[in-house]
Amino acid sequence: MTRSVTILGATGSVGRSTLDLIGRNRDDYEIVALTARKDIDGLIELAGKFRPRQAVIGDPAHFARLREALAGTGVEAATGEEAITEAAGAGADWTMAAIVGTAGLRPVMRALEGGGTLALANKEALVAAGDLVTRAAAEGGATILPVDSEHNAVFQCFDRERPESVRRIILTASGGPFRARSIEEMRRATPAEAVAHPNWSMGAKISVDSATLMNKGLELIEAYHLFPLRADQLEVVVHPQSVVHSLVEYKDGSVLAQLGAPDMRVPIAHTLAWPARMATPCARLDLVAIARLDFEAPDLDRFPALALARAALAEGGAKPAILNAANEIGVQSFLESRIGFLDIASLVGEVLASHAPGAPSSLDEVLEIDREARRAATAAIGKFLH
């Protein structure tokens, strides 16, 4: 049976990887909508190739060009953030949520309200509004499938019918490009060095998060909302080869792990075909060629972002949303060469310590907490400017 698909954030790396897989199985999928925020060239290209029912560009300044490019193709053109949210709720069987940042929150909530399956690649949804997102999924009868390689690995190994049999989840971290660097070397690190991930091909923001280990901290918070375990049952181990994507330990001592080449098309394919499996063009895992798998504990002195995230998870309430917002400002400021690499975690720590609003009870409250944390982080940057 043909599965209808909407891809939110179609022009990014996750969106394009999803379309690469769909392109190899065109008879199995019908594309309802493709969305992008500003990448008009990418959206026009993908809409022309895959012919969705609708193509949505978030920035209205590009709408005239989109409409002109799609004239006569049968693809409806639309624009604006509300149009993206409406596309998310258009009733697709399967929706890829790959919009980066809190801009993806409303579309995620709209997709969940309509039921169906949500493949979640947007970290901010669960980090900033985890309780609201999981409640919306339950009320809408929707299924959330994690796309992050770590959470997808856990999903494949986790006994959802008997969660009480699980002792702990172990998320693996590559350690990023600075795993073996000294603090002084990291102090001098450039944006170009930080985005040069040793194993994965990712966007600049998530690459910097990987370099600070904030990415793993955000994933701890996500895992707390995705799987029915306590925060103290979630651990992180550094695994430089990025072959073991995560592990689940059971109370009898058994440990199940999901292994594979570091290619995002593997977890995307798992969610796209779930509960079946689909073929992918990804490299096959050759354990003999790899020869060894290394593991080590994360160094919280050199990578304090992980400790900040764990503390935010433990405190709960608005803290994870504040953590996420302040980190986004810090990463962007670093990418613009306004602050140093180590200043990112320092900035986040300062904002967390100075802001403690109550737990949000609605999406509007989450977004207000996010805006306030961004304002506070922006104001505090002056202490770190180079």
Residue 5 predicted with pLDDT over 70: yes
Domain assignment present for residue 172? The answer is yes
C-alpha distances in angstroms, 14 versus 7, 73, 300, 363?
Answer: 9, 25, 29, 25
- The Cα 247–Cα 233 span in angstroms is 12
Whether 254 maps to a domain, the answer reads yes
Percent of the chain topping pLDDT 70: 99
Residue at a domain's end among 100, 118, 146: 146
Residues 90 and 215 in one domain: no
Same domain, 172 and 60: no
Q: Residue 322 belongs to what domain range?
A: 316-386
Decide if pLDDT at 58 tops 90: yes
User: In this structure, are 121 and 72 located in the same domain?
Assistant: yes
In DSSP terms, 283 is beta-bridged to none
Is residue 210 included in any domain, yes or no?
yes
* 270 is a domain residue: no
Same domain, 57 and 111: yes
CATH number, domain of 60, equals 3.40.50.720
Is residue 276 domain-resident?
no
Exposed, middle or buried: residue 161 (CB in 10 Å: 0-12, 13-18, 19+)?
A: exposed
CATH number of the domain encompassing residue 346:
1.10.1740.10
CB atoms within 10 A of CB 195: 18
Does 309 map to a domain? no
- Structural domain includes residue 337: yes
Q: How much is the average pLDDT of 250-267?
A: 96
**Nearest 5°: CA angle at 325, between 97 and 354?**
155
55 and 41 within one domain: yes
Number of domains in the chain: 3
| One domain for residues 85 and 160 | no
Say yes or no: 91 and 226 in one domain: no
Query: Model confidence at 95, in pLDDT bands (50, 70, 90)?
Result: very high
- Domain end residue (candidates: 146, 162, 195): 146
Pairing, β 244-250 against β 166-173: antiparallel
Lowest-confidence region among 196-205, 237-246, 313-322, 372-381 = 196-205
Q: CA 243 to CA 201: how far, in whole Å?
A: 15
Clarify whether residues 123 and 135 are in a common domain: yes
103 band by pLDDT with thresholds 50, 70 and 90: confident
Let me know whether 122 and 228 are in one domain.
Answer: no
Q: How confident is the model at residue 201 (pLDDT cuts 50, 70, 90)?
A: low
Looking at the fold, whether 340 and 291 belong to one and the same domain comes out as no
Residue 4 burial (10 A CB sphere; 0-12, 13-18, 19+)? middle
78 part of a folded domain = yes
Q: Provide mean pLDDT across the span 195-199.
A: 80
Whether residues 103 and 210 fall in one domain: no
Judgement on whether residues 160 and 36 belong to the same structural domain of the protein: no
Count CB neighbours of 251 within 10 A. 10
- What are 35's strand-pairing partners? 8, 56
pLDDT tens digits, 342-367: 999 999 999 999 877 788 999 999 99
Q: Which of 99, 114, 146 is the last residue of a domain?
A: 146
